[in-house]
Structure 1
């Protein structure tokens, strides 16, 4: 029986190394993913900037974008040397840039090629090779399209399939619209799992609460959370206790920032700007008194040259003071 698992989605411009290091403070067990990186960037680009990560991030997977089996194999070997725990192939991104490069969601129309890509990746590295896809694109019949893709990747040795439970519309919708407008079809992913009991299947798309996570895990092996994990990161504090029976690494957002400070200090010492780190933390304290003041302080002060840990601490203090005032008012009210 496949062990249930939880992952945080690869998200362009969001899940960079600073974001992942912060998420790891909140959950030891969630599997984390890089932003999608193209094979060309891996092979010819600044590898350390694109692929470097902190050892604390493990388990961490790299998501590759590409459709040339040989280039994917070469990129995968480079990523394996960097120490990643998994190679994931993107068959779900609908952006024009991705389509022009013949990878991402448009590959749903070429399941045989996707199978060749997975086979090349499996031959190149000893790591797990996984695929993230949609249920179909454009006018495809989702029953047929997802089954054909699954058949191809399983035959090639795919270790796990994560399915974003929406179609992608390659014409007429922007990438942002493709995350919301096509209707969700969770039962289609459930049927895939029923048909493929030996294949680890994870579900992604529109999942917002841990109650929903638990419901999906009645039908599939894993759940991948995207925007809510980024915009309300404290949800990750529930992952280890609820899904793995282990204590959360920290109790709340205050402890999370205290635990994250050494990482922040190390990156600042390397010349990183505070804003590039703290922009991933703006969703902390959502719903608490002072959350807006916290966000405003970081948004205005962290971008300034020389901003350091004191800037972060003062932002947190805005929440502490507001919560104290709120507690006094609550106690004084009849």
Structure 2
């Protein structure tokens, strides 16, 4: 399938998450939902131009549709790296204008660029001229004192004048001083109404909403008023939310044990290539979130407890036994309830 065939009118995507949304997680996430758009971790232009390009860019064919998110503010460097993304087979390339960390601010990357919409427009124009794949922007609704709807609208209009049509909007402002990146994900209040208004006033643009969306019900609430939903850490801590979201696209709800059965060959293949098992099992800890035995599953796979594939198989067997027993108890309770009501 091509990325165009995969894209639905209402898009579900998994946010770029530093240290989390690597290729091992993306391969795992794909097993829950065949059409969700998966984003790489943010990769700076410097890391690609001067560093190990293949380590940052390689991915598995199963990950499509997959997006490379770039961090940078030099138009030529961004154009060069966008071309790399296209050559590697990414379906889209995205510019980060939302990260508020001190480290990226010092390099003029991320949310601080919202103060320079014309520079962002120059960056996007250069990226678009370099590639045929779509170029998109992920940004905040504002930063510091530039926190009004009018400021955001000016930013979007300036960038959209380049021909860019897809904006992923984190519905919180970012405070560039005084709050950590984690605090900037939680403390500034959500202003979904600003994103809804942007979509109403700029209907020709694709407006995808991000921020604080962590349940299937919340995803469903957002879809009628936006063009898509980007899920952040909720999709990492509870990846089954991707499967539940897939129902809205007509996909069948997959079984957790079937997902692990599909992922095991990948673990074996990557270990043969020298990848540490722990660098992959860390992404599996949320598989049984909210299920019986979830804590046991996390304990069996974390802290170096899973040293071999046999340990992972044993953890799966333990969870299967716990699940079977829980189902049996549920059946017995239903039988008992039925007997009481018929007496």
TM-score (structure 2 length as normaliser): 0.92
- Deviation (angstroms), 1:321: 1.7
2:31 counterpart SS class: helix
Per-residue CA deviations over 1:167-199 (Å, capped at 9, x if unaligned) read 000010000000000000000000000111010
Residue of structure 2 equivalent to 1:212: 218
What do residues 203-228 of structure 1 show as CA deviations (whole Å, max 9, x unaligned)?
A: 00000111111111111101000011
Aligned with 1:171 (options 170, 173, 177):
177
Aligned equivalent of 1:246: 251
Please tell me whether the aligned partners of residues 306 and 312 of structure 2 are also in contact (alpha carbons under 8 angstroms).
no
Q: Which moved more, 1:59-68 or 1:156-165?
A: 156-165
Q: Which runs of 5+ in 1 are unaligned?
A: none
Q: How many Å separate the matches in 2 of 1:301 and 1:175?
A: 28
CA distance in 1, matches of 2:145, 2:52: 39
Q: Output aligned runs, 1:146-295, within 5 Å.
A: 146-242=152-248, 244-248=249-253, 251-295=254-298
1:94 aligns with 2:100: yes
Give me the CA root mean square deviation: 1.4
Map of 2:53 onto structure 1: 47
- Structure 1 CA distance for aligned equivalents of residues 319 and 118 of structure 2: 53
Corresponding position: 1:115 with 2:121: yes
> What is the DSSP-based 3-state SS (H/G/I as helix, E as strand, rest coil) of the residue aligned with 1:316?
helix
Structure 1 residue 263, shift from structure 2 partner: 1.3
Give 4+ residue runs of structure 1 displaced > 6 Å after superposition. Answer: none
Aligned position for 2:144 = 138
Task: Return the offset for 1:332.
Answer: 5.3
1:136 match: secondary structure: strand
8 Å Cα contact 1:193/1:199 also seen in 2: yes
State how many pairs are aligned: 327
Gap runs ≥5 in structure 2: 1-7, 337-343
Encode CA deviations 1:114-169: one digit per residue, 9 max, x unaligned: 00000000001111000000000011132122111101111012130000000000
SS at match of 1:183: coil
Residue 34 of structure 1 contacts residue 63 of structure 1 at CA under 8 Å; is this kept in 2? yes
Instruction: Return the alpha-carbon distance in structure 1 between the equivalents of residues 238 and 123 of structure 2.
Output: 35
> Which position in structure 1 is the counterpart of 2:64?
58
CA distance, structure 2, for counterparts of residue 269 and residue 302 of structure 1: 20
Cα distance in 1, alignment partners of residues 278 and 241 from structure 2 = 22
Q: CA deviation at 1:302?
A: 4.9
Shift of 1:325: 3.0
